[in-house]
Amino acid sequence: MANPPLEVPQANISCDRALKIARTDAERVYRDLLLYRISVSLEDDGWRVDYELKDPDLNGGGPHYLIDANSGEIVSKRYDQ
C-alpha cells in the first residue's frame, strides 16, 4: 500500500521574505544575531523561524516566530533570553 503524497502548504510570502521579517524584528531586540543558528520551515500554520544559540554552553536563547504565510504578519513571537 503506497503512502499518500504529502500536501505542501501554500504560501504567498517567500522563505526569504519570512526570514527578513523575522530578522528585522529580532535585530531590534537582540542587535547582534551572529551567535544564533537560524532555522525556517513552512508549516500548516505559517512560516516558523527559530534562532537557536550556536554555542550550547551559553545560557539563554533567541527569538522564535510564527509568520503568516499569506500576509507576512508576525502571528506570534517569543524571546528567550
- pLDDT (tens digit per residue) in 65-77: 999 999 999 999 9
* Domain assignment of residue 50, yes or no: yes
Q: Is the pLDDT of residue 8 over 70?
A: no
- pLDDT (tens digit per residue) in 30-79: 999 999 999 999 999 999 999 999 998 888 889 999 999 999 999 999 99
* Domain assignment of residue 1, yes or no: no
* Domain assignment of residue 6, yes or no: no
CATH number at residue 38: 3.10.450
Domain around 65:
15-79
How many structural domains are present in the chain?
1
Torsional class of 60: left (φ above 0), alpha (ψ -120 to 50), beta (otherwise): left
* Domain assignment of residue 9, yes or no: no
The reported pTM is 0.85
Cα 68 to Cα 75: distance, rounded to the nearest angstrom: 6
Radius of gyration of the chain measured on its C-alpha atoms = 14
